[in-house]
Structure 1
Amino acid sequence: MTGKIFRSCFLVGLAIMVLCTALFVAVMASRYEDQVYQEMEETAVYVKRGMEESGGDYLSGLEDLEGGQRLTWIAADGTVLYDSEADPAAMENHADREEVIQALEEGTGQSKHLSNTLLQKTLYYAVRLDDGTVLRLSCQETTMGALIISVLQPILWIVVLALVLSGVLASRLSRQITKPINNIDLENPRLDDAYEEIFPLVGRLREQNRTISRQMEALSRRQREFAALAENMSEGVLLLDSRYNILYSNQSAYALLGGEEEKPESLRQETCRKEIWEAAGRALAGCHAESLMRAESHIFEILANPVTANGQVTGVVVLMVDVTEREERESLRREFSANVSHELKTPLTSISGFAELMKEGLVEADKMREFAGDIYKECGQLIALIDDIMKLSRLDEAAENEVAPESVDLYDLSQDILESLQPAAAKRSVSLHLEGEKQTILGVWRILHEMVYNLCDNAIKYNKDGGSVTVQVTGEAERVTLAVKDTGIGIPKGQQDRVFERFYRVDKSHSRRVGGTGLGLSIVKHGAQYHNALISLESEPDVGTTIAIVFPRNMRP
């Protein structure tokens, strides 16, 4: 503001100085021109009298005229009869000259001619003589530009002094005007140090400060509430402007942006995830966007919505929700459905084929018993598969309904299961052994029974003829370990991590032969998860397999 006031005062002073100078020069030039015309008129009267008395001879004896005036005598037809500076014979006809025409008509005439290149002006004055000829006087006058140049130096000194004076006065005036304004305390404006003209400004500042204080307090409270909610959310929250700049991000979102050392300030940075960038781009285009993003062991759903103001998209809200469990459940559901369909279709296809042959009478009488046996075997496989599926379903129900645990002795449970499997083991000449001592844990008896039964059943099915199965039950202060060891075909190293997957079989042909469904170890895995137990597996092909489950003694599922 000080600079503006200074410039205004300074320019006003400069304008006044320039106008005064121009007016002075114009007045002086006008007075000088009138004076020259008066002098030429006096000279013309003097010469006219001389020529009337002496005729043309008077001009030959005429001395140089005063003020550098030039004398020309012109006949009525425009012919130059005499010129004080040039040869009349060489001069052109002057009948068309303005001052000559005017003198012939009115008795006297005057005109002027300006030379911009020479910065000079020629003044002409003509008078008609009694004999009809015209006597013309001319004089060169300095133009206004030349006059200004001639007096330029003193004018410049005057202008400089005037500008300095106006500059000092303008600077002082601007400081005096702005000092009270600059001294206003914006936090606590007072009227004591201000002049009357800025009292309304001080009053508005006071009211504005009170309004801002109330708004800042409310905004700060809301910001704290929002930050407390957002920072404690497991979902990532991002607020972006229309240039992809990050206005806000909670800790969960920051962990997903891809920044390692510095917190990203914009999605344009190369470290930011492509999925978030694309979703934000679609939202800035005015559309709701949804996509999935995989980050290490988690899967996140990206939800982006545009923020509009006055019909224009001004920003984006991005929400990142962890849907790992949902996606895994969906993947397992699809995989389970596909596997169940496949496992059901295989025996049903065989049963359908056998039944069709029998219906068409294409089976000989002595083959009927064999076909019926095959149908019975396939039906048994279907029943076993459905039974295992129902066991998995009961595990899920137990997890959802939180069945109350009870005290279960794993040694007694293992003993009962080995006794029930003794006939199946005897068919393969597999010996069953139980080692250890009574160990009690809290758990669901039915689930524990299915876990141990499946481990022992698999140990018999995948054993060698004449092999052995050993169940060991040992305990410590806080945990109990149940291990089932066999001397069977073993599991290759590369497949040991997959044997607990649903419907996975190491040797499918062998599994079909012994009636395996591929769900036994999956039931064991889910049962262990329900009891917060840990499973370990050690196996070597053609040597045997040992599967151990470590249960917490007093931990409820």
Structure 2
Amino acid sequence: MQKRVFYFIIFSMLGLALFVNLFLIFSIESVLKNDLFNRLKNYVNKIKDEVVISIQNDSFANLKESHNGYRISIIDKNGVVIYDNFSSNLTNHSDRFEIKNAMKYGESKSIRYSDTLLKRQLYYAVKISTNKSDFILRIAKEQEYLYAIFISFVPYIIGEIIAVLIFSFLLAKYLTYIILRPIYDIDLKNLDENLPYPELKILIETLKKQNKIIKSQFKRLKQNRQELQSLTKGMKDGLIIINRSGEILSINPSAQKYFSNLAKNTNISEISNDLFLKLLLNNLRDFKDGKIKDEIREQIVFMQDMLVECEVVFWPIFSSKGKFKGLIIAICDITEFKRNQNLSKEFSANVTHELKTPLTSIMGNAEMIKNNLVKYDDLPHFIDTIYDESKRLLYLIEDILKLSFLDESHSKNIPFVKIELEDMVLKVYSNLKNIAKKYDIEFKFELEKAYIYGSKELLEHAIFNLCDNAIKYNNPGGYVKVQIKNLGAITELRIKDNGIGIDKADQDHIFERFYCANKAHSKKVGGTGLGLSIVKSILAIHHAKVKLNSQKDIGSEFIISFNNQKYNQSRT
């Protein structure tokens, strides 16, 4: 308060002095300009007759001797400069303001920058008539003449400002002391006694009551903040609370994953993510301006160890009077949701297509038989086609149901038991023995004793699919080699063949649903395009990793690594 009173008095005095000086300066400048234009006009009148004679005689020698520091220019009615005592070979002046107006009104004046002399000039022009034609006589003087006069006033103005400043300082200090000293001497313990201003009594009593209320509210707010921090600390979603100025009042650990440099009491300007900062500042401005009243939802991608797609929700906080107070920002990771959504759309489209193909074939063949369009000798072929397509459709439906089950299941919902991997491999082989014989494929085994934890039914199905593919995508006389290696915490299962192999371009896609590297061969052996997708889903439930080594026309090897230690940690 003392500073405010002090500075108010000083700046009021200085402002008044500045206003008076500016008024005087502009007034003096106006007077001097008018005086200079009057001098130019008088000088024109003085030499006007002499100029007329010079024009009629085509001789300007006399003018050169008597210019007295003035610039004298004579311009004909077409704008051609026929004489100028400061310069020669001048351009046409018909477009000059003072020339045009003098030709039109008889006289004119102006202040402008001279392109010839590269200085600001004061011009006075008058139209004169001779026996030859009408001409313009123009007299000019540099504006520096005015500046020189102003400069002569500068020492007086500076002295005046210094004097006013000293006087204002002393006066402000004295008045501040007189006004505020009694307030500083108030005894806060005896507010009812010796009050210098009776009006202060009501104010002080009010302040005492407000102080008690504020202490109570502050205590309650502190408790609420502690409760809020406890609640938000365990939240999976990020939560940031800021005030209208952009200061961060609260930020939970989940939000700090996205903005590691942010902490409580810092400003949003320190956010390193430019896209998020721009979005936040725009929304904060719109809430302040009252353009938006409701929550805003935006989607943004954060770059961490991998791309994380998030939905950001901005909730404005308004007071009871509708004034914007701050913002609550929630950051929800929707990466998995988006991925599942896209997979679901893609899967639905693929299922429709894959189901339609065998059904079309079945209906087409059945319709031909129904309409007696098939010869008796060809009837077995059409029936076989219907049977094969029906069988393919059944396999496809079974695989779709299996994938649907795996997508909806979780490892905690599936009972896991201890499994001897060697016994499971040999059981799968016994189920595939006849198929291997049919395709002339030899099985080779290098099996170590190893135990894993998992679903016996699902793992058996995964191993069956891999071995079945190794048989069907092989060459007659080929082999399938199955190895089990016990590497301590890791149990490794390798299934290798010397079949047709997989192109390098296809290897990144073979686990995708309905993807077939060799569609013709896949249809021939009854493949649905879902087998390896099912394998991948089963292994994901068991926290196992699968790796592919393959070369075209040489063979393929699938390496499955079961991390029993990781599985046990996740189950607990």
TM-score in terms of structure 1 length: 0.62
Instruction: Return the offset for 1:270.
Output: 4.3
Percent sequence identity is 34
Task: Render the CA deviation track for 1:73-121: whole Å, top value 9, x for unaligned.
Answer: xxxxxxxxxxxxxxxxxxxxxxxxxxxxxxxxxxxxxxxxxxxxxxxxx
Q: 1:527 aligns with which of 533, 538, 556?
A: 538
Task: Render the CA deviation track for 1:368-427: whole Å, top value 9, x for unaligned.
Answer: 101111111111111111121222234345526622211211111111111211121122
Instruction: Return the offset for 1:450.
Output: 0.6
Partner of 2:312: 302
Cα 1:182/1:252, change in 2 over 3 Å: farther
Partner of 1:538: 549
1:505 equivalent to 2:516? Answer yes
Partner of 1:365: 376
Contact residue 407 and residue 443 of structure 1 kept, 8 A: yes
Once residues 178 and 281 of structure 1 are traced to their aligned partners in structure 2, the CA distance between those partners, rounded to angstroms, is 41
Q: 1:518 aligns with which of 514, 529, 536?
A: 529
Cα 1:218/1:495, change in 2 over 3 Å: same
Q: Trace 1:224-239 onto structure 2 (pairs within 5 A).
A: 224-239=226-241
Instruction: Return the offset for 1:207.
Output: 3.6
Q: 2:436 aligns with which of 407, 410, 425?
A: 425
Partner of 1:454: 465
Q: 2:413 aligns with which of 402, 415, 424?
A: 402
Partner of 1:190: 189
Task: Render the CA deviation track for 1:217-238: whole Å, top value 9, x for unaligned.
Answer: 2223323333343354332334
Task: Render the CA deviation track for 1:307-329: whole Å, top value 9, x for unaligned.
Answer: 34434655543322112222222
Once residues 394 and 449 of structure 2 are traced to their aligned partners in structure 1, the CA distance between those partners, rounded to angstroms, is 34
Instruction: Return the offset for 1:547.
Output: 0.7
Query: Which of the pair has more CA radius of gyration?
Result: 1
1:264 equivalent to 2:271? Answer no
Cα 1:4/1:388, change in 2 over 3 Å: closer
Unaligned segments of structure 2, at least 5 residues: 10-166
Cα 1:321/1:553, change in 2 over 3 Å: closer
* Alignment-mate amino acid for residue 189 of structure 2: R
Partner of 2:490: 479
Aligned residues: 396
Instruction: Return the offset for 1:190.
Output: 2.8
* Alignment-mate amino acid for residue 462 of structure 1: Y
Once residues 547 and 521 of structure 1 are traced to their aligned partners in structure 2, the CA distance between those partners, rounded to angstroms, is 11
Once residues 374 and 8 of structure 2 are traced to their aligned partners in structure 1, the CA distance between those partners, rounded to angstroms, is 118
Partner of 2:562: 551
Q: 1:212 aligns with which of 201, 211, 214?
A: 214
Which has the higher mean CA deviation after the structures are superposed, 521-530 or 241-250? 241-250
Once residues 360 and 8 of structure 2 are traced to their aligned partners in structure 1, the CA distance between those partners, rounded to angstroms, is 101
Once residues 176 and 312 of structure 2 are traced to their aligned partners in structure 1, the CA distance between those partners, rounded to angstroms, is 59
Calculate the aligned-residue CA RMSD, in Å. 3.7
Q: 1:223 aligns with which of 222, 225, 238?
A: 225
Q: Trace 1:209-358 onto structure 2 (pairs within 5 A).
A: 209-239=211-241, 249-253=251-255, 256=258, 264-265=268-269, 270-272=274-276, 284-296=291-303, 297-309=307-319, 310-311=321-322, 315-358=326-369
Contact residue 259 and residue 272 of structure 2 kept, 8 A: no
Once residues 229 and 555 of structure 2 are traced to their aligned partners in structure 1, the CA distance between those partners, rounded to angstroms, is 58
Contact residue 299 and residue 309 of structure 2 kept, 8 A: yes
Once residues 171 and 401 of structure 1 are traced to their aligned partners in structure 2, the CA distance between those partners, rounded to angstroms, is 80
Instruction: Return the offset for 1:279.
Output: 6.3
Instruction: Return the offset for 1:347.
Output: 0.8
Instruction: Return the offset for 1:197.
Output: 4.0
Contact residue 430 and residue 467 of structure 1 kept, 8 A: yes
Once residues 322 and 311 of structure 1 are traced to their aligned partners in structure 2, the CA distance between those partners, rounded to angstroms, is 31
Cα 1:493/1:260, change in 2 over 3 Å: farther
* Alignment-mate amino acid for residue 289 of structure 1: I
Contact residue 254 and residue 263 of structure 1 kept, 8 A: no
* Alignment-mate amino acid for residue 298 of structure 1: V
* Alignment-mate amino acid for residue 562 of structure 2: F
* Alignment-mate amino acid for residue 299 of structure 1: E
